[in-house]
Every structure is written in structure tokens, then in C-alpha cells.
Amino acid sequence: LTGSLLLNNTTRTHNSQAFYKNGLPNTLRITASGGLFSDETVIRFAEGTTPFFDNQSDAWKLLNDQANQLYTRAADNTKLAINCIPGPDQTPVVPLNYSVVTSGTYSLTTSGTESFDPGTPVVLLDLLANYRQDLRLMPEYQFTANEGDDENRFAIAFGTLTAELSAFEPVSIFSDGRTLSLYNPDQSSGLLQINDLSGKVIFEKNIIGESRNTFPLTLSPGIYIARFAGNGINVSKKIIIVNID
């Protein structure tokens, strides 16, 4: 079957309405640049989602140890390329991780801040430099980083411009399934514990004046609670152990 379609001037239509690109509301795109490659991650408010990994809306980060990697972490520490959360009431701060394979100067560039409610601040926190930046006013941030630096350096805060950095994460605790990491920028001394869900203490370590601590985990697969307490700080974090060989 063959045929032809003829279009002439009589089929043209005109409209004075400008064409606008459709964008997703409440969507923040963050791009890390520097060196040979760039990497992007996305945070979005979406109804029906949770602060944890949602397989219908979130996307895992597919890591490449040969290039710098940018990703966020869900409340269960899942590493994400796309992180959909219910909103600032349940998730006011989203951890933003950046791993570096080559030392250098890099930049974080954001877009989409205008897609959020004008009354919702969108703030970048640099936990290492003890610095915050209003991304609505300044969407780009430059920094230096070195190979082997703690990946848990940044966070995106929604809903506040004035709270102290320590109000968000004075001590960060996270696990990749094989090691437990404690990021303690103020070098506060205290007690680190891991409890099972029955409350039994199965790991305990005194932390004295160290900003970074890493401990190998030999726990059975399951859900545990890691706690750090000391010098007025009391932080708890759920960790999930899977497939420890």
C-alpha cells in the first residue's frame, strides 16, 4: 500500500501564545562538574512517596568507581539517582553525597528551585566547610575535594534558612552494608552503640576526638539502630545489613 500526504499553506495554523517547555513541579536537579565528566542527581516532592526507598518512584544510583559520583541517600541509606520524597515536613534535609576519584576543584550547579513553592527555601549545606548557601539566589557552588574524602559532605535543606548546621546533622552515621561510618565534624567525644531491634547492645565503641571513624561490620543481615551520645549530642540512625559475606 502506497500513498502520499500533501500539506500546503491552507493547512497552516498560527497562534500568538508562546510555547513553554513543560517541567516537573517541585523538582531539583543537581549537577556536579569538574574534570572529564559530570554527574547529576534529582530530588523531587511527590505525593504518595516516603523518605525511604520507593520502587515505584525512586531510582538506584548505578555506581562507577572510575569517575566522580553524585547521589542522595534515602532514610534507609539507599543510594539514589532520583529521590522522590513526600515533602519538607517529613524530609526537611536530604543527604547529598559526592565521591571523588581525583583531587581537584569542582562545582555543584542546581536548577529547578523556581518549581517549588516560593515560601520553601532550598539550601545547600557543606558540612565540611560549615557553610550554607541559598540556592534560589546562588545556584552554583564551587569547592575543592580530594580522593578519599568523606562522601557524606553535603545536604539539601528545605524549609529553613536560619537553623544552625548542627541542628541538621551534628554527627552523621551511615552504613554501606559492610562498614559503619561515623562523621563527627566537631570531634565530639561520646559512645557509639549498635542495638538490635530488641534493644540488645551488640557493638560498642568509645569515640574520642576523631572527626571520621569507620568500623567493619560482621553482623547478620537485618535492621539495627546505631546511636551516638555525648557532649549534648544524641543521634540515632537505622541501618540495614544485607548479604555480608
pLDDT in tens, 84-142: 999 887 778 899 999 999 889 999 999 999 999 998 999 998 888 778 888 998 999 99
**Residue labelled with grid coordinates 549545606:** 125
All residue ranges of the chain with pLDDT < 50 are 18-21, 163-164, 166-167, 244
In terms of Cα–Cα distance, which of 151, 149, 131 is closest to 141? 131
In terms of Cα–Cα distance, which of 193, 186, 238 is closest to 212? 186
Q: What pLDDT does residue 234 have?
A: 78
Q: What letter does residue 161 receive in the DSSP assignment?
A: S
| pTM of the predicted protein model | 0.60
Percentage with pLDDT > 90 across the chain: 34
**Residue labelled with grid coordinates 518549581:** 115
Distance CA 73, CA 51 (A): 9
The number of CA neighbours under 13 Å toward the Cβ of 143 is 22
Q: What pLDDT does residue 45 have?
A: 95
Q: What pLDDT does residue 100 have?
A: 92
Identity of residue 188: S
Mean pLDDT of the chain: 83
Residue 52 backbone phi and psi in degrees, to 5? -90, 180
- Across the chain, the runs of DSSP E, i.e. the strands, are 27-34, 37-45, 59-60, 69-73, 79-85, 93-99, 104-111, 122-126, 131-134, 140-145, 154-158, 172-175, 179-183, 190-195, 201-207, 212-216, 222-230, 233-241
